[in-house]
Chain A
């Protein structure tokens, strides 16, 4: 493990701006005398693995990476904690869209239809909405056909591209429904990807939470506490801090909460999409 006088954060580089963001945070923390460094990963699985191997202290985790970490920790008898999240990480929803003129009026009508989704590891555009459909009786790949748009795998859907292509597939008629994040519904409506009146929201999931900063037992407590304190002290009124918050898409850091991951938890239990990865890592770390 790297010298424990420096806090090491791991993040996934889903976009080039990630470097700008963490360089900015590094400057901010240095200004407040917190030695801070970061490591970037190409995918969340590599980050979770590095976390358990002790290469980093705090992981900026997707909700799926959080559940992976939680399960691995449970199997290894370790503890894992979500220490902070963005205000914008709370109470997200996903929507299932159909074309406005389609004959599909309730979820049951999706029987036998083709549904466009995002990346196979995207909580918001694949796992949570498909979990909900399964819960409502439309089991993916048996009761309906799933058309995935796996543009950037390993990023857990952080890259927006897959959802945009899924919507286009719906509009073209290549699919009868599409699953996207609520925020992308507004974005696609504003930018014209979703022409006004062309689609209809068939269903909307209950609210769920998104990313969090994850810490494993054994992390340097004083550094983590200072990291957390500095996050909560970041004010949107501070002109030096505001550009960082704008880049990272929040107005305020909030304490982590883990009550918002139940839908994703149920979905990965049902679809068993992370079992192999969790088992492999548990075996390696034993």
Chain B
């Protein structure tokens, strides 16, 4: 076997030709390296010494290389980190080994790679087959806050209605911040073997960051300060942010919390007093729907494999209710602001209409939660009970 380098220097890429020839050579077969670069013989000999290959000069001065054992030895104990195509059986590991580290799914991992401290390594906890499709939708649906919202639209609201909008936006920013922090925390604990889930959590965090931005910007459109943040509202969100278990956090946040939140955003869109509020509520709701769908999908899969996990979810909902029992829950300011915005004016008839609309909103939220719980296999009665226990802060 022979390889021709011409006048290409060994250091100029010639070593790739030699490596390729060595790979193709039979074990023990010498490869004759031909070339006229002035330092070729020196470089080849030095390289062979460092790589553990055998170097020699044949009769008439031909440079000969035969493969040493080191390269093959390095990859002897290597293993594939699953397979790139998730539809293949076994492509996504049921439990991703820590030694696979950051290796791309489907890559070949050298034995002895360092173990990473990933906490979320079980497919059952995190996986949903729809993650790939949801990520693709999210990537395609990214909108630019600067152009997607008619920030310059002309509108003029009564002062108290504008104040009510500011209060609602203040509340939304707080909730979106929780919705950003929860996936971000788990993202940093997730084994990257579950690549699509990792990407989905990342784009969710980015979406939530944008929601924080547009709600803040709407609040400051006509005012120079934000509204009030209540102790009860924060206590409710704190119990979400601090939940250490992914599946339970996902259940409380995505299925119960964002499920309710989604109904609230569509309510705001429908009764928005101005085009900017309407646009920010609609765009956020469209994004949010994906994360509710993901939460439902991976929890359904989880429960199919481990139905015994369902009582733990119920217990988590009850415990959260107990934790929050002594807090005020939803702040009065937000409920009043929602009523005023839904009323659209101070006329008693308008206020009564606003009240009916808010009552309808609460009923719609309850229906959405019960529907989600039923899709997770909870019986109607327990679904109704757990939905009733859900925080009065909505999220």
Specify the chain B residue showing the minimal Cβ separation from A185: B42
Give residues 136-177 of A contacting B (CB, 8 Å). Answer: none
Produce 1/0 per residue, A86-122, CB < 8 A to B. Answer: 0110111101000000000000000000000000000
Picked from A87, A91, A186, A235, the residue with its CB within 8 Å of the CB of B47 is A186
Instruction: Indicate if B52 sits at the interface (CB-CB under 8 A).
Output: yes
Chain B contact residues: over half helix, strand or loop, or mixed? helix
- CB distance A183 to B46 under 8 Å? yes
Q: Of residues A88, A91, A236, A240, which shows the largest number of chain B Cβ atoms within 10 Å of its Cβ? A: A236
Q: Of residues B11, B43, B47, B77, which shows the largest number of chain A Cβ atoms within 10 Å of its Cβ? A: B11
- CB distance B38 to A200 under 8 Å? yes
Specify the chain B residue showing the minimal Cβ separation from A245: B70
Give residues 30-59 of B contacting A (CB, 8 Å). Answer: 38-39, 42-43, 45-47, 49-52
B45 partner residues in chain A, CB cutoff 8 A: 93, 182
A88 to B51 Cα, complex, angstroms: 9
Chain A nearest Cβ from B274, distance in angstroms: 62
- Contacts A200-B38, A201-B42, A242-B74 hold; do A190 and B110 have CB atoms under 8 A apart? no
Chain A nearest Cβ from B85, distance in angstroms: 28
Instruction: Indicate if B69 sits at the interface (CB-CB under 8 A).
Output: yes
A252 to B38 Cα, complex, angstroms: 30
Give residues 187-216 of A contacting B (CB, 8 Å). Answer: 189-190, 196, 200-201, 204
Instruction: Indicate if A77 sits at the interface (CB-CB under 8 A).
Output: no
Interface size on B, residues (CB 8 A): 25
Q: How large is the interface on A (under 10, 10 to 19, 20 to 34, 35 or more residues)?
A: 20 to 34
Instruction: Indicate if A251 sits at the interface (CB-CB under 8 A).
Output: yes
- CB distance B68 to A182 under 8 Å? no
Produce 1/0 per residue, A69-91, CB < 8 A to B. Answer: 00000000000000000011011
A234 to B112 Cα, complex, angstroms: 15
Chain B nearest Cβ from A204, distance in angstroms: 7
- CB distance B39 to A88 under 8 Å? no
Q: Of residues B38, B39, B74, B112, which shows the largest number of chain A Cβ atoms within 10 Å of its Cβ? A: B39
Instruction: Indicate if A239 sits at the interface (CB-CB under 8 A).
Output: yes
- CB distance A251 to B68 under 8 Å? yes
- CB distance A189 to B49 under 8 Å? no
- CB distance B11 to A236 under 8 Å? no
Instruction: Indicate if A1 sits at the interface (CB-CB under 8 A).
Output: no
A237 to B49 Cα, complex, angstroms: 18
Specify the chain B residue showing the minimal Cβ separation from A87: B52
Q: Of residues B69, B70, B110, which shows the largest number of chain A Cβ atoms within 10 Å of its Cβ? A: B70
Specify the chain B residue showing the minimal Cβ separation from A92: B49
A93 to B70 Cα, complex, angstroms: 23
- CB distance B43 to A186 under 8 Å? yes
A189 partner residues in chain B, CB cutoff 8 A: 9-11, 39, 43
- Contacts A186-B43, A240-B112 hold; do A196 and B49 have CB atoms under 8 A apart? no
Instruction: Indicate if B12 sits at the interface (CB-CB under 8 A).
Output: yes
- CB distance B12 to A196 under 8 Å? yes
Instruction: Indicate if A54 sits at the interface (CB-CB under 8 A).
Output: no
- CB pairs A–B below 8 angstroms (10 shown): A182-B42, A185-B46, A186-B10, A201-B38, A237-B74, A237-B77, A239-B110, A239-B112, A242-B112, A252-B70
Interface residues of B (CB under 8 A from A): 9-12, 38-39, 42-43, 45-47, 49-52, 68-70, 73-74, 76-77, 110-112
Interface residues of A (CB under 8 A from B): 87-88, 90-93, 95, 182-183, 185-186, 189-190, 196, 200-201, 204, 235-237, 239-240, 242-243, 249, 251-252
| Additional pairs, 15, CB under 8 Å, beyond known A183-B46, A186-B11, A189-B39 | A87-B49, A90-B49, A92-B49, A185-B46, A186-B10, A186-B46, A189-B10, A196-B11, A236-B70, A239-B77, A239-B110, A239-B112, A240-B112, A242-B73, A251-B51
State the 3 A-B residue pairs at the shortest beta-carbon distance, nearest first.
A239-B112, A251-B52, A237-B73
